[in-house]
Structures are given as structure tokens and as C-alpha cells.
Structure 1
Amino acid sequence: MQTSTDLKELLARIDRKGYPAYKDTKGTYQFPGYVLSIDHVQGDPFAAPSKLSIHVSGQTAAFPRTLYRMPCQRIALQDELTRRFGRQAEQVSFQAKGSGHSGLVSVSRCGQEVLERTACRLDPRSGDLLLRLEVGFPANGRTINARELEKILFDLLPRCVQNALLYRNLDAKRLQTVADLAEDQHYIREALPGLGLCAFVADGSILPRASGVSARPMREGVVFQSPKELAVTLELPHRGKLTGMGIRKGVTLIVGGGYHGKSTLLKALELGVYNHIAGDGREYVITEDGAMKIRAEDGRSVQRTDISMFINHLPNGKDTTRFVTEDASGSTSQAANVVESVEAGASLLLIDEDTSATNFMIRDELMQRVIHRDMEPITPFIERTRELYDAHGISTVIVAGSSGAYFHIADHIIQMDRYVPRDITALAKREAEAFPINSALPEPAGALNLDRRPKASPEFQSGDRIKLKTMGRDGVSLNRETIDLRYVEQLIDSEQTAALGYCMLYAQKHLLDGRRTLRQVVDALDELMERDTLAALCESRSGVAFLARPRKQEIFACLNRYRGLKM
């Protein structure tokens, strides 16, 4: 390891040389109180910024172990430190001048959700702190401006470290609040199964968002208040008593007029699989880990998926127990999404009729009289909903505004009235008696064939470099193959999408051997991230990318939408 003085002397030697001379700075340098590592140097001032990391020993960072004794607390603390360093970086970014990205200082941009990221890692054993950032090395044209880089590395960055990464300089009360909130959120999520619940929405929550392009809470939004029939009171470790609406296992229907908050409630439940920061309004909207949002997805590929639970006897004779298509219809895509969720271990399905295929969800009695069952290959979801719960333990929450048929099978019916929930189960059941439906259900689907064993593509074994490109939250590209993730709605950060791309690369190289099932492949990827940290996905590439950890369900979703996957 070199010293900061060595780095300063090196910068003096390469000043005003051609930009490639910056490559000589790569290495680790001891600064007062921390180690600076220059991990990857950009090729020119207009290329992606250089990757740096800051290492602070546990003794110097000195964060009390009570703040990160639980994994959820550690992730919340890492998130808070990333946000704080990001605010410091915004203040100093571009204070150093030059062409291209010269002077940029940035870290991961965190949203409303608390995610585990490669941007910041606190070692749970030693307390050592690692923070990754990007810096645009300054240049005039393509000539090194080492004096401006010296300003960043010896003046601006040390200031950020002092103000964001050392416990003695931070608000201890705020950090304790962050840790306590994380523990309370974890407590609720762990308590759900024992209470017979699949989700909880606390009284006082603010569910509406500021706008369609902002995840921040709406100012003066309607405060959530549980109907007394569904009220549940929890005793949290730090918050104490907290009352809210418990959504019970089974089948729950959310109804109401347009613009009354049905989809807003469902969206909150959908994102309740993640913890949220204080002030978000959804801090105590908690959904069990295995919840999956389901929708129709016209045009997606389906690879050897058993959709026979919903679709059989196709006119072309196509096998629906190993169904394959490069261009699925609305109904077949939604059927595949449900079955793949079962394979992924989903415990709760979240469905909005607005984004569903109508012929997949329901066939009314008049249509059944005209088009007899033996002429229709689709068994609608309404006829399998109870079976999913009884046979597979999978609950369902459905938003419906146009058809009352689901009143008959729902265990609980919630009406959203101007964003206020009301339990109308008894009323809806009484009214449904006047509109009987065909009670003849199809034969149980039986065991699903979930034995899919993917194989690696030859191009990943050749040793050639695979081009990986992330397209925000919309998808990821491997060479010329784009994996479309636009409709995987519980992906909430582009860094999760990037992590999925690295998961695909790692799986192709190490896991897709034709012997492991898809579930075993996903379990191995999840175990790798848990055991060796998220950064372990970035093997043999230049520096560690900014990644956020995806759930196992999103890894499944990505693999299932990868057209290059060989089954």
C-alpha cells in the first residue's frame, strides 16, 4: 500500500500529460483515517467515471454494534450512510473543473425503499466500512489536469468522509431511529404468518404519491384508517402499540369507484415487500416477502412452462404442460406468470384487473352458455383461485371495479371510498346471492410440472467478453439479447436491474449445467449474495458496479424472460 504523499507526487508527475497516464494512479493509498482505493480509471474524460472506494476501519468509524446487530438494521444503516454521503457529494461535485465528466463525484441514488447495495458495506464482524463512489478525473480536452484531481482527492473527498462516515460527526439520535425503525419493520414482517396475515397497513399511513413520476408522499394526502372489522394491534419493540388493517390469508377483493384508491392500496402492498425510509408514509405498510404482482404481458417469451392449470386442449394441439412461445398472448402470459410465481415460492399474488387479460380472469355465465366449456381452452383464474390457496397455500389480493363475480369466492371484501377502506364483506355476500354463478368447478389441476433444468449457452463458455448493458428499470442486455423487465413491477431501482444482469452472467458461467432446476439456480445465486455479498457477482470485470440486491422472485422473473435461456 502506498501513502497519500506518493499519490500527490504521482499526480505532479503526470500533470498535463495525455489522459491515459491517469492509469498509473490505480492502487491503494493510506490517507489520514481511511484508505483510498482507485479501482478503475476511465479511458477518457467523456467515458464512464472512474471507480473509487473508501475503506474506514471499524475502530475509526466507531459505529456502535447496537446499530447493526440485526441484518435489517445493518442494511438500514448502510442505506442512511449512502444517502448522507450522497448529499455531501452533491455539494462538492463539479467544484473541480474540466471537460466531459471532469469533477463529478457521485454515489448510488437511493429511492424511498431501503435496499442492500454495493455502494456501502459495513462488515458485521469488524465494523469496517466500505463506500464505493465514482469520480470524473479532470482534464482539459484530453490532457490531464492533475491539480483539479488533487483538489478532489485531498480536499473535497476527505471533507465528505469526515461529515458522512464517522460516527462521532453524525447525529446519534437519528441513526438510532433508523435502526429502531428497521427492527420494527422486521418484527411486523416476521409476525404476519403467526397472525394469519399476508400484509399489514398501519393507521396513519399516507399511501397516495405526490405524482405519477414521484414516489414521495402526497402533501395533505388522505390518512389511512383501518375499518374496525379488520383492525389488528401490534406491540412493536420500539414504536410500541401500532394499530392498522390486517389483510388475512385467503382471497381478498378490493373494490370501489374509479379514482377512489383501489390501485393505490394495491401499489402500497406491492412495494410493501421492501422497507421504506422514515417520512415516506408507507413505513409501516408491510407485505410478506413472497408476494408477487401478476399481470398480462403480451409478447413475452415463455420457456417450457406448465400452464395446463389454466390452458388446455389448444386447437393446434400444442402441449401446455411444457408450453413454449416467443410471443405470448395476454391470457397465456398471465397464466405463465402465475405458474412461474408458484415455482418461485410466491405466498401471495397481487392482481389488478386493469392490467389483466379479461378472458384469463373471468367468463360470465352468458358467455359460458353461448360458448360451452368444452369449446374454451382457458380455465379462468376465478375457477382456480381457491385451489391456489387450498393446494399451494397462495393467497390472492385482487383489485376489481367492473365485475362482481369475485364476490362469491372472496373471503374478505374491502371497498375503497375516497381513499378510506371499508369492510363490506357481509353486504357484498348478501347482494351476490341474487346473482348466482355457475357453481360447477373444473377438476383440480393436480401437481404442476416445475422440473425445468436450464443449460448454458455456448457463447458464455467461449471466454469472449460478454457485453452487459442496463436500460434503467426497463431491462438488461447481454450482447444482442435484451431481457424485457418493464412489467416486472416490483423492480424499483435500476441498480437491481443491473444486479439481475450480473446474475444472468454468473448463472451462465457457473450454474446452468442442465442438472440444476431453475429453483436451485436461483437459490444458489441468492446464497452467493448472502454469503459473499452482492459484489461477488462482479467477478473478473473492471471494478465493482453499483448494484442493489433483487429478491429471489425477480431473479426468477428475469430468467423466465431471457429468450436466450436453453431448457
Structure 2
Amino acid sequence: MPADLYRRLSNLDGKSYGAYKSLRGSHDLPDLDATLFVDKVQSDPYAPASRARVHIPLSVLDYRGASRSQPGRFSTAELDLLNRSLVRAFKKYGRGLFIDSPGQQVLRRTAVAELRGDAHDVDKHDDALQICLEIQLPARGRRILGREAARLICEDLLDALDDAIVNAPIDALEEAAELEYDQLFLRRAVADADLIGFVADGSVLPRQAGNSQLPKPGATAFTSPESLQHSFQLPSGKTVHGMGIPRGVTLIVGGGYHGKSTLLSSLVTGVYNHVAGDGREFVVADETAVALRAEDGRAITGVDISPFINGLPSGDDTTRFSTANASGSTSQAAGLMEALGSGARVLLIDEDTSATNFMIRDERMRRLIPDDREPITPLVARVRELWEDHGISTVIVAGGSGAFIDVADTVIAMDAYTPYDVTERARELRESATPAEPSPAFAQFGERLLRADFPAGEGRGRHGGRGHGGHGGGRGGRGRGAKPPKPPRARGLELIQVGKDNLDLRAVSQLMDSSQTEAIARILGAVVKQLDGRTDLTDLIRREYDNFCHSLFDATAASTNSGHLAEPRFQEVVAAINRLRLLR
């Protein structure tokens, strides 16, 4: 037990809550040869919990990282497992101890990270594990419960660290590292086989509910059709068999509730690795794949949607289209073009969440309304061009229209959650139809030189639109005496507060964790400050994204870093920032 710290906390008993601020700084934890850093002390008992870090030198541990890609280092999966162990230990030992809690995806996080000896602020200069946590400092009313605080920090915290970190199950750590290496190898092998996705036999794709990532008990295990089956020998010695999805245009069909959207959803989340027992451990998709949907009411700023929408009766220029309240078709067209700008090689689309007029236009409607009077060129008329001229693959779920049968390279039918290759049968059903008059061909995704009207200060914004996203605030810069704008803040998984505006991310379906959203808020804050109308938006986002990911685990910034940050994909960062109503 750290006697000095125990005594110091006990002596605070009965004092005003503000006396806790004397704890800021570093404290030795000699039992673990570790150091506790108290970075921020809560202002009162009802404020967010105090922020702290613990550095445990690797020299006191009986194990080392088992990463195969970086020998001697901890893999992301091992750090993730230690993080999960701490979640359980904190629940067991200390009601006032909290740490970021991972979901089914394995993400790089700040909650538990490995620090190199010459890069962190521990005097011992050992390599160390850094644990970022929150401590709810106890009180009765506004008076300190010092002895309870001493037990919480000097006993409960140490017991939890001893249980979850010092005595971590070495076999489980090695298994996590091995699974991650197999998953990374599989991703490369799938790409080398000219596939954009792979679903292993035996995978469990259905989830417990639409808002749950947990596997559904008793669900039908996945079995692949022989004609689409591929096998891969993994570094662990295991061989996985399953369904490979070729590059090109893939159509997933089937009756309602037979698993079409479930299969697509597994590809949507297949850009991430999953924990053992999830059921999707060996379900992978191209790492740049983007899920698209219609999003009525979103903001669009300066996006070239002319390949899909052109010749509007209003005369608006669709090569640089802007609106504060997009329709379903314009929002989906903008989302697709933004995805291409972010480097997406694969598009994932479900007709259930798409705008019908963006997806298809049947022959009778074309006879009734001539092509030269229709400004929308539907995806069905563009999807072959996307693949043949630009190498962009598309996976489409369709249950109500057969229009995409005519343009699909591969057709998969789902029947009671079992896939069947019906490509040859679908080809027999193809119809010859007069092709639509094409809009302007896809060009290189052009520069977008934008600026941001960041709110000038409290109470100065102009607002409008739906409750989840009003217009931007005052015109650029701060007025005399105005308060500086607050940095963007994540409010859960699907919302970022930017000044007095709310950035709605409900349609960004590949955002999986609120800690990713918090990371996007940090990047967004850096990007918005630099938008001056002279720098390409995507280039600026890329630069700030790379800077953020590089510094995410930089110990020199550890005291200001939240323990609730997880690495997002570049595609989700681009999607979020493109929805800002502050862009001009």
C-alpha cells in the first residue's frame, strides 16, 4: 500500500471538496513500482470524474507484447484485452473507478497504451503501460470522505491493477495477438485474391437486435456456396473456408427477413477486426469500403454531384452543389461523391435506406417523362462505369426491383440466412432496355476550396433547420469582446456539438464507438480553424487526421489526452466534416 498517499488522502477527511485539488501531480505506487498521475480534479462531487493515469513499467510484468508485426510490442488486440480486463476489475473492486469500455470491434485506444522508455514522463525510463482512467472522488455533501478516498485509490485501484494487469492471463493475451495477426493476414490475402470481401463458413452474422452488436444466440451459422468458395491458410496454421465476394458489381437478393441486409451489415462492419466469440472474427471487407444511404435534410457544401444530378430547373450548378436541406437523392449522390473523394474503393448500398429515384428509373417512367426532362441519372445507369472506368466496386441489396440484375457481375440470393450463387439464373432474366442518356462522365474528384464560418461567440449564431442541425453561426472571426468558440465535443456516438450547432452522424453507420466520435471532434476542431478558402478540404482533413493518429499515443500529450479516444477511419472523419453546416 502507498502509505504516503494513503495518509495524505486520509488527512483530507472532512475538508471542503476543493482540497482534493492538492492531489494534482504524480504519486508513487511502490507496490507496483508504478506512478499515478492526477491530471484533472473534478470541481465538485457532481462534476465529471477526476482524470488520472497510471504508468506501470513493463519490467514489473511477467509478460511482454506478442505482436507478430512489431516483435516485442503489444498488439492492438492485447491492449484491447487488457482494457476489457480493467473494465471488469473496476466493476469488481471499485465503484468509483472508470475506464473506456470497448465494444465488439478491436480499436486502437488511449485507455490502455504502450509507451516507450524515452518518450514518457516516468523518471524510471522503462517501457511502460499507460492506463487512462477516471476516479469519482468520494464526498458527503461537499465534504471530503478522505478515508474512503484512501481505500478507493490505495487499495481498490491497486487490487484492480494487480488483477487485470500484473496477473493478466498470458495465454489469453497470446491468443488475442494470434487472432489479430490471422485477421490482418486474411485481409491482405482477400485483397490479393481480387476480392472485396470474405465471410468465413461458421460465422454468426445475425445480431441480437438492430441496435446491438452482440451475436444472436442460436442463429444460423454461415455456409458458403461452392461456386464462390475460397480457402486461406492463416499464419496460426488454421485454414478458413468461406464465401469470397469478387470485385465488380455484386447484387444481394432474396425475400424479406431472409438475411440480405444482415449479410451487407457484416461487410459494413467488416472494415474492423472483431473480438473472439463475436461470430464475425473472419468476416472482412476492403478497408476503404463505405456504406451509403439517403439522408434527407443534411447539409452539402461545394460537392460535384453532376454525374448523378444535372440540369436542374432552378439552374443551380451541380458541379459545385450546396444546400442546407438536401433531398434523399441529392444527399445520396453527395455521399457517394464524398466517399470517392475519401479514397473508397467499395460502396455498400441497401435499397431499404436509399432514395428510389437515386437508385433506379424504370422503362415506363422513362417513356412518361423523357430523359431530357429528368435531371437525375440513377445509380443503375452509372454503376458499370464506376467499376469499368474507375475500379470502384459496389455491393447492392435489392428485394423490390430487378433493375440491377442487368448490370450485376455476381448475384447472391439469401434464403433463410443461407447464400446461393444465382448469377447464371439472373443472366437468363436480363432485359434489353434502351440505356439512359448519360450525364457528364465522372472526372477526377476536384478540389474543394472552402472556408468555415465558425461561431463567433456565445449567443451570436443564427440557427434554423431541423433540431439536430441548425445553420452556422456568425461570420468568420471573433468580434471585440466575444468569447472564443468552444472546441467541438462529442455527445455520444452520433452527435458532435460545434458551437451551438449539432452535427448529426446517425447516417454514418460505420462509426462504431463514441470514443471514435470524440476523436473526430478533435480532428474537426483542428480542420475548421484552418479552412481559409485556399486549401483543398480533403487534403486538409488528411493532414490533420495523420497528425492526430500519430500523436494519439504520444506521451508528451498524455496529460491533456482523454482516455476516451479511439482511432476512427479516415472515411468517417471525411463524412462527418462534410456534414458541417459551417462550411462555405
TM over 0.5: yes
Per mean C-alpha deviation after superposition, the further-off stretch among 339-348 and 232-241 is 232-241
* Matched-pair contact (CA < 8 Å) for 2:261–2:350: yes
Mapped partners of 1:89, 1:404: distance in 2: 54
2:121 corresponds to: none
- Residues paired across the two proteins, number: 549
Aligned equivalent of 1:121, options 106, 113, 125: 113
**For the structure 1 residues 326 and 332, does the alpha-carbon distance in structure 2 shift closer, same or farther, using more than 3 Å as the test?**
same
* Matched-pair contact (CA < 8 Å) for 1:295–1:334: yes
Letter in 1 for 2:520: L
Deviation of 1:517 after TM superposition, in Å, equals: 1.5
Aligned 1:397-546 pairs, distance under 5 A: 397-432=395-430, 435-440=431-436, 442=438, 445-457=441-453, 459=455, 464=484, 466-509=486-529, 511-533=530-552, 544-546=562-564
Deviation of 1:320 after TM superposition, in Å, equals: 0.2
**For the structure 1 residues 331 and 213, does the alpha-carbon distance in structure 2 shift closer, same or farther, using more than 3 Å as the test?**
closer
Please give the secondary structure, in 2, of the residue aligned with 1:272: helix
Aligned equivalent of 1:354, options 352, 370, 375: 352
Aligned 1:300-319 pairs, distance under 5 A: 300-319=298-317
**For the structure 1 residues 534 and 502, does the alpha-carbon distance in structure 2 shift closer, same or farther, using more than 3 Å as the test?**
farther
Deviation of 1:446 after TM superposition, in Å, equals: 3.5
**For the structure 1 residues 327 and 377, does the alpha-carbon distance in structure 2 shift closer, same or farther, using more than 3 Å as the test?**
same
Please give the secondary structure, in 2, of the residue aligned with 1:79: helix
Q: TM-score under structure 1 normalisation?
A: 0.92
1:262 corresponds to: 260
Letter in 2 for 1:203: D
What do residues 65-116 of structure 1 show as CA deviations (whole Å, max 9, x unaligned)?
Answer: 434644996211111110001100011233xxxxxxxxx2111111111011
Deviation of 1:464 after TM superposition, in Å, equals: 2.2
1:100 corresponds to: none
1:75 corresponds to: 76
Letter in 2 for 1:106: F
What do residues 293-338 of structure 1 show as CA deviations (whole Å, max 9, x unaligned)?
Answer: 0000000000000000100000010000000000000000000000
**For the structure 1 residues 35 and 370, does the alpha-carbon distance in structure 2 shift closer, same or farther, using more than 3 Å as the test?**
same
Aligned 1:162-241 pairs, distance under 5 A: 162-166=162-166, 169-241=167-239
Please give the secondary structure, in 1, of the residue aligned with 2:11: helix
**For the structure 1 residues 440 and 536, does the alpha-carbon distance in structure 2 shift closer, same or farther, using more than 3 Å as the test?**
farther
Mapped partners of 1:195, 1:218: distance in 2: 31
Deviation of 1:59 after TM superposition, in Å, equals: 1.3
Q: TM-score under structure 2 normalisation?
A: 0.90
1:383 corresponds to: 381
Please give the secondary structure, in 1, of the residue aligned with 2:213: strand
**For the structure 1 residues 546 and 29, does the alpha-carbon distance in structure 2 shift closer, same or farther, using more than 3 Å as the test?**
same
Per mean C-alpha deviation after superposition, the further-off stretch among 252-261 and 452-461 is 452-461
Please give the secondary structure, in 1, of the residue aligned with 2:221: coil
Deviation of 1:354 after TM superposition, in Å, equals: 0.2
2:468 corresponds to: none
* Matched-pair contact (CA < 8 Å) for 2:450–2:531: yes
Mapped partners of 2:178, 2:302: distance in 1: 45
Mapped partners of 1:73, 1:416: distance in 2: 40
**For the structure 1 residues 476 and 538, does the alpha-carbon distance in structure 2 shift closer, same or farther, using more than 3 Å as the test?**
farther
2:581 corresponds to: 563
Mapped partners of 2:394, 2:437: distance in 1: 18
What do residues 389-448 of structure 1 show as CA deviations (whole Å, max 9, x unaligned)?
Answer: 12222100000001111111000000000000000000011022xx32223551551414
Mapped partners of 2:351, 2:557: distance in 1: 39
* Matched-pair contact (CA < 8 Å) for 1:405–1:437: no
Per mean C-alpha deviation after superposition, the further-off stretch among 384-393 and 521-530 is 521-530
Mapped partners of 1:542, 1:233: distance in 2: 46
Mapped partners of 1:303, 1:332: distance in 2: 12
Please give the secondary structure, in 2, of the residue aligned with 1:213: coil
Deviation of 1:488 after TM superposition, in Å, equals: 0.4
Deviation of 1:27 after TM superposition, in Å, equals: 0.7
**For the structure 1 residues 223 and 348, does the alpha-carbon distance in structure 2 shift closer, same or farther, using more than 3 Å as the test?**
same
1:140 corresponds to: 140
Letter in 1 for 2:368: V
Letter in 1 for 2:531: L
* Matched-pair contact (CA < 8 Å) for 1:39–1:543: no
What do residues 110-152 of structure 1 show as CA deviations (whole Å, max 9, x unaligned)?
Answer: 1111011111111367642001111100000011111111001
* Matched-pair contact (CA < 8 Å) for 2:455–2:499: no
* Matched-pair contact (CA < 8 Å) for 1:67–1:175: no
**For the structure 1 residues 171 and 542, does the alpha-carbon distance in structure 2 shift closer, same or farther, using more than 3 Å as the test?**
closer
Mapped partners of 1:108, 1:193: distance in 2: 33
Mapped partners of 2:68, 2:157: distance in 1: 25
Deviation of 1:543 after TM superposition, in Å, equals: 5.4
What do residues 450-492 of structure 1 show as CA deviations (whole Å, max 9, x unaligned)?
Answer: 2013335455865825154322112110220211101100011
* Matched-pair contact (CA < 8 Å) for 2:381–2:436: no
Aligned equivalent of 2:277, options 279, 289, 301: 279
What do residues 356-410 of structure 1 show as CA deviations (whole Å, max 9, x unaligned)?
Answer: 0000000000000110000000000011101111222210000000111111100
Per mean C-alpha deviation after superposition, the further-off stretch among 453-462 and 497-506 is 453-462
Q: What percent identity do the matched residue pairs reach?
A: 42
* Matched-pair contact (CA < 8 Å) for 2:104–2:275: yes
1:85 corresponds to: 86
* Matched-pair contact (CA < 8 Å) for 1:40–1:51: yes
Where in structure 2 are there 5+ consecutive unaligned residues? 118-125, 457-476
1:131 corresponds to: 131
Deviation of 1:518 after TM superposition, in Å, equals: 1.8
Mapped partners of 1:452, 1:133: distance in 2: 40
Aligned equivalent of 1:548, options 560, 563, 566: 566
What do residues 140-188 of structure 1 show as CA deviations (whole Å, max 9, x unaligned)?
Answer: 001111111100111001111111112xx22221111100000011011
2:466 corresponds to: none
